[in-house]
Amino acid sequence: MNISRGIIILVLLSSAVYADNSSEVDRNTSTQSTQDEFNYIDDTHRSISGTVVEWADKIDTKISSWLGNMEDNSTRVTPRVLDASSTSLENQVKLADAFFQSNKYLNETEDIYIRVRTGATFESKYSEDYEFKLSAQIPFSKSKKYLKIFINDVTVDNTKGVLAGDLDDDKVDPNLGINYFAPEKYGINSKYALGLSGTDPFVSARYNMPIKTNEWLIDPVQIFRYSLDDEFEEETNIYFDRQFKERSLFRLQLHRKTQEILDGMDYALSLQYYWSNKEKTGLGFSQTFFGNTEYHYTIDKFAPIPQIETFGGINNYVTAFTWRANIWRDWFYYEVRPSVNFHIENDYKPNYAVRLIFDFYFGQYH
């Protein structure tokens, strides 16, 4: 697929959004057939979302009956509810993570949803990249084991690779499994997972312990994971969140990670700022520094015999802006993310990029 075809596809999607917004202004000139099409889309979406929630409840009830009815309600996990009217720091952090779909939110949410994501990334030093991914999370609130099925990063290409037994090491594998949310103990939240990454089984454990001070919310997170493919890996993330004014959030994130199959240790420092001037729209800014104690990179990719160098230090600087908005319908979002990075593989010369994303949601979502 060439770049022009990708632009045409994205323009057509954008045109559909613009057409609906224009119909609000020129309602009297819109045709009845167009309105009928929009009504059909809304009815179809409501039907699919209702089916998603209904199936989740049926599976939940069935698993609960298998596990028995010995649940102690006093120790049940209380579902997290986002309150848009609350100005507490904890709630504002959850709102920002949910709106911008951060990895932190995706690891913690109890929402029932299916998300279809399509988009494209255009870079000055690399070829364009297109994506079409399916993700889903279906929690089981009735089950005494606090179970939740998850499906992440499912694409047409990696699904074909799994079925054919031919996975690409450079591509993200689809993930399917079950999460177990343990009841909070001593202020520590625990989540355990068992599943498949591609065709390789894996187990993981995630722990976090939020700490509230007068002005900051500090949330250290530790993750352990073992799979037959990547073997043992572990990572630490510490989030420092503070609200300087209403509808805004400043975050300092510290990151480190080690993998048994790779040399050295990854580390990163990220400064992030989120701001929303009105409901269902948001602007984000981030400045991130990536490094590794033993980073291996190719000096000249076009040389007959490429030379590999080892570098210890900051190997990439990334500056990014994000604009995300909910348009047309409550379940349709778009995101534009221009960025520039300075990577050691490009001799720290600027690589400009623009990422366009469209998200479609079904089920119960924030």
pTM: predicted TM-score of the whole model, two decimal places? 0.76
Does residue 117 carry a pLDDT above 50?
yes
What was the pLDDT predicted at 323?
95
Does residue 313 carry a pLDDT above 90?
yes
Could you give the percent of the chain with pLDDT greater than 70?
69
Does residue 131 carry a pLDDT above 70?
yes
315-330 pLDDT tens trace: 999 999 999 998 877 7
232-260 pLDDT tens trace: 999 999 999 999 888 889 999 999 999 99
- Please give the mean pLDDT across all residues of the chain: 79
Does residue 4 carry a pLDDT above 50?
no
SS3 for the chain is: CCHHHHHHHHHHHHHHHHHHHHHHHCHHHCCHHHHHHHHHHHHHHHHHHHHHHHHHHHHHHHHHHHHCCCCCHHHCCCCCCCCCCCCCHHHHHHHHHHHHCCHHHHHHCCCEEEEEEEEEEEECCCCCEEEEEEEEEEECCCCCCCEEEEEEEECHHHHHHHHHCCCCCCCCCCEEEEEEEEEEECCEEEEEEEEEECCEEEEEEEEECCEECCCCEEEEEEEEEEECCCEEEEEEEEEEEECCCCCEEEEEEEEEEEECCCCCEEEEEEEEEEECCCCCEEEEEEEEEEEEEEEEEECCCCCCCCCEEEEEEEEEEEEEEEEEEECCCCCEEEEEEEEEEEEHHHCCCEEEEEEEEEEEEEEECC
Listed range (4-13, 176-185, 224-233, 296-305) with the worst mean pLDDT:
4-13
What was the pLDDT predicted at 222?
97
What was the pLDDT predicted at 3?
42
What was the pLDDT predicted at 75?
41
pLDDT band at 36 (very low <50, low <70, confident <90, very high): low
Does residue 194 carry a pLDDT above 80?
yes
What was the pLDDT predicted at 152?
80
What was the pLDDT predicted at 364?
60
What was the pLDDT predicted at 70?
42
What was the pLDDT predicted at 31?
57
137-155 pLDDT tens trace: 776 655 545 677 788 877 7
| Mean pLDDT (whole number) for 98-115 | 79
Higher pLDDT, 179 or 34: 179
| Mean pLDDT (whole number) for 105-124 | 84
Listed range (1-5, 122-126, 209-213, 227-231) with the worst mean pLDDT:
1-5
What was the pLDDT predicted at 56?
65
| Mean pLDDT (whole number) for 214-233 | 93
Does residue 215 carry a pLDDT above 50?
yes
| Mean pLDDT (whole number) for 184-190 | 90
Does residue 213 carry a pLDDT above 60?
yes
Does residue 120 carry a pLDDT above 80?
yes
Higher pLDDT, 54 or 73: 54
Does residue 343 carry a pLDDT above 90?
yes
